[in-house]
Structure 1
Amino acid sequence: MIDIQTFMLALGVGNTAFALLMAGYMRGAAPNPALRTWMWARLSSGLAQICCWVAPHVGLPIAEELAAFGWVGGVALELASYCVFFGFRNWRRILAPATVAALIIVAAAALAQASREQMTQVVAVIVALFASGAAAILLRPQADAPLLQRVIGVNDALFAIAIWIWMAVANGGVGMFNTNPVYGFAYLASYLLMIVNGFGFLLLCKLKDDQRMQRLATIDGLTDMLNRRAFFERAESALQTAVRLRKPIALMMLDLDHFKQLNDGFGHACGDEALRLFADTARATLRENDVIGRLGGEEFALAMPGTSLAGAQYAAERLRIAVAEAPALTCAATYRMTVSIGLVMIDPNEELTAALARADHALYAAKTGGRNRVEIGAPLLRRA
């Protein structure tokens, strides 16, 4: 038989252990404000639960009051950690006044010398409200939300529901697991919250860090396009798929005209603006399944799966015109950005690097032929 005091001790030790675990994890990891806030939330909740266990043994009312403040602080910090994790703006304007109001309510109850049952009810209502807020954040409509986020959100929602049921049926009293199933449901929900949310948020932060590292490894930081390595991987995959399905695939090399003069005359910051403008223009012009990446400097490559020569030539001309009609740079109003393009069709038996070399020759022809033009490269010569 487990009474609520023993259960509070188990929760307190568990939450404090989670806080120490997270503190150790963060010492060897990159700074993570959300995880640091979550650590303090777990520590606050753990100390509050330990105070709940200590209070009847020492007979000090201040232990009960510290427990109440610790509970409120813990759930408020937990909600704050979600706000930090998702990068919400102006969340302090809502959460800070709500937390202050909750603490004032707890202080007023303590000054009014509320009984232990009454203080428990006050804190339970506050905790349920904050848990409901956390569930709303985690379960809000998001197309790319990971399953782990939904699991934590459902857990918060179940915890809030458990508290409301406990308040309605048990009326804020205390009891044993085997004497009232309502207590068992509420206590088990609390323990589930500690385990799932404790490990869950840690894994959620790690998942976000992994995604960030994956992005850094594949995306060019300036243009938000694929970097050289990622482009070759995606283009090679597109080529293999095209060969397997016996579909055509076009390949282009693209180079911004007079880019060196822009950098020399207006500075590298202006050149960076031109690269970003080109990237935005290309994204607005090309299809979603087109593979474009920055190979280095002002040089880009584009693979267009399932596109014939005529279709690729039309797409290249459309991109060339869109670049020429793009808004003037804020740093160099006299510079009009244009792009030269070399276009080839990849032969089914051709390596990607060989096709890129042919596209580069076509690009050179476009450059020497006057720039701001599309040049179609010669087809691959087959050996007799």
Structure 2
Amino acid sequence: MIDIHSFLLALGIGNIAFAVLMAGYTHGAAPSPGLRLWMWARFGIGMCQLLGWCRPFLDVPVLNGIEGAGWVLAVSLEVAAYCIFFGFERWRRVLLPMAALALAIVLAAGSAGAPVPYLTALVAAMVALFAAAMAWILLRPRRRASLLQRIIGLNDALFAVSVALWAASCLSSDVPLGQRTAQETAYLAGYLLMIVNGFGFLLLCKEKDDAEMARLATTDSLTGLPNRHAFLERAEHARQAALRQRQPLALAMMDIDHFKQINDRFGHATGDEALAVFAHTLRATLRAHETVGRLGGEEFAMVLPGTDLSGAQQAAERLRLAVREATVITSGAAYTMTVSVGVVVLDPNETLGMALARADHALYAAKSGGRDRVEVGHPQQRRA
């Protein structure tokens, strides 16, 4: 048998300790509203548990309603923290009315002097409802969840079920486990929730930060395209896959024509806008399995798996025409860009660098030939 009263004290201290740990983690870091709300939710839950531990010693009936209201506020904050963390845009329209209604019901029941078992059942049912909402946020089927999210979500679901059973046992003796066992199960689930969700939310934040750092390390900040390092890495993977599958692989080098004149005539802000418009046009023109990246300045490159020379020429021509249709907004009249493209198909015996060099020579030929055109690179020279 569990000493529930002492266990409640341990839970309260543990949740407050997690809140303090979270405060230390966030001190001096970039502000995170979700993390801050979660910290206050843990602190509020800990305070409610300490209040529940003190209640037998104080014998003040009004504390029952205050404790119940505190539980509603704390779990509402925790749901809000998850909504913010996962980017829900309209969560306030649903959560705020639900939390206000639940809070009003609990305060009204406490003020009316509802018996402790009924008030306990009411608060436990509301906590179970909010815990189920957190489980849904983490486990909802339309979103690809990480293993960490699933572990935390399953833990929330277990807690919701155990607290719901406890709520039912407070009102009826027909619950199979009995009220005492149901209460102990709910407290054990609460302990597991404190440990798993306490560390779990910190790990979720770290997981999100790591993903953002990886994105920043591989993405060109102006265009949103893969940067030089990321593009070359993906292109090399595509080359190796093409060799294994014995499929053709085309490469293209692209350069915005007269880009320096855009900067000189309209300013660097317009030049940046031109690069962004060009990148958007690239993404809209290419197929899903094709990769494009910014190598630097106004120079871009493209990998087209499973594409022969004829297909690469057609893809480059579609891109050239799409760029001519794109419009760059300037301080004066709108500006229309053009692009020069050099395309090659990788030879099985050449490296990625050699193929890119051939594509670059084809790009230079397109520039020399009048720009706004597509040129095919010379085949690789065979050694005797």
Instruction: Give the TM-score of the pair, scaled to structure 1.
Output: 0.91
Deviation at 1:323, TM superposition (A): 1.8
Deviations 1:100-150 (A, max 9, x none): 332222322232233332321221122122222222322223343222223
Deviation at 1:56, TM superposition (A): 0.7
Aligned partners of 1:249 and 1:303 also within 8 Å: yes
Deviation at 1:203, TM superposition (A): 1.3
**Count of aligned pairs:** 380
Aligned partners of 1:223 and 1:279 also within 8 Å: yes
**Residue type at the aligned position of 1:121:** A
Deviation at 1:29, TM superposition (A): 4.2
Q: Which residue of 1 aligns with 2:230?
A: 230
Q: Distance in 2 between matches of 1:281 and 1:61?
A: 68
Aligned partners of 1:51 and 1:64 also within 8 Å: no
Q: Which residue of 2 aligns with 1:244?
A: 244
Q: Which residue of 2 aligns with 1:9?
A: 9
**Residue type at the aligned position of 2:328:** L
Q: Distance in 2 between matches of 1:87 and 1:51?
A: 33
Q: Which residue of 2 aligns with 1:54?
A: 54
Pairs within 5 Å for 1:342-357: 342-357=342-357
Deviations 1:56-103 (A, max 9, x none): 123344544442232112101101101110122242233233323322
Q: Which residue of 2 aligns with 1:40?
A: 40
Q: Which residue of 2 aligns with 1:282?
A: 282
Aligned partners of 2:55 and 2:63 also within 8 Å: yes
Aligned partners of 2:121 and 2:170 also within 8 Å: no
Deviation at 1:28, TM superposition (A): 5.9
**Residue type at the aligned position of 1:51:** L
**Residue type at the aligned position of 1:50:** L
Any unmatched runs of 5+ in structure 1? none
Q: Which residue of 1 aligns with 2:379?
A: 379
Deviations 1:184-227 (A, max 9, x none): 33222222222222222221111111111111011112222100
Aligned partners of 1:166 and 1:186 also within 8 Å: yes
- Structure 1 consecutive aligned stretches of length 4 or more whose deviation exceeds 4 Å: none
Distance 1:323 1:38, change over 3 A: same
Distance 1:369 1:179, change over 3 A: closer
Look up the SS of the partner of 2:328 in the other structure. Answer: coil
Of the structure 1 ranges 158-167 and 60-69, higher mean CA displacement relative to structure 2 is found in 60-69
Instruction: Give the TM-score of the pair, scaled to structure 2.
Output: 0.91
Q: Which residue of 1 aligns with 2:329?
A: 330
Deviation at 1:367, TM superposition (A): 1.1
Deviations 1:252-291 (A, max 9, x none): 1101112222222223332222222222222222122222
Distance 1:109 1:179, change over 3 A: closer
Q: Distance in 1 between matches of 2:289 and 2:90?
A: 37
Aligned partners of 2:118 and 2:171 also within 8 Å: no
**Residue type at the aligned position of 1:243:** L
Pairs within 5 Å for 1:114-133: 114-133=114-133
Pairs within 5 Å for 1:194-213: 194-213=194-213
Deviation at 1:375, TM superposition (A): 0.7
Q: Which residue of 1 aligns with 2:150?
A: 150
Aligned partners of 1:178 and 1:184 also within 8 Å: no
Aligned partners of 2:121 and 2:166 also within 8 Å: no
Q: Distance in 1 between matches of 2:45 and 2:367?
A: 67
Q: Distance in 1 between matches of 2:278 and 2:91?
A: 35
Look up the SS of the partner of 1:12 in the other structure. Answer: helix
Q: Which residue of 2 aligns with 1:183?
A: 183
Look up the SS of the partner of 1:313 in the other structure. Answer: helix
Any unmatched runs of 5+ in structure 2? none
Pairs within 5 Å for 1:65-144: 65-144=65-144
Aligned partners of 2:117 and 2:170 also within 8 Å: no
Deviation at 1:47, TM superposition (A): 1.0
Q: Which residue of 1 aligns with 2:265?
A: 265
Distance 1:169 1:116, change over 3 A: closer
Aligned partners of 1:170 and 1:183 also within 8 Å: no
**Residue type at the aligned position of 1:330:** I
Q: Distance in 2 between matches of 1:291 and 1:133?
A: 39
Aligned partners of 1:219 and 1:226 also within 8 Å: yes
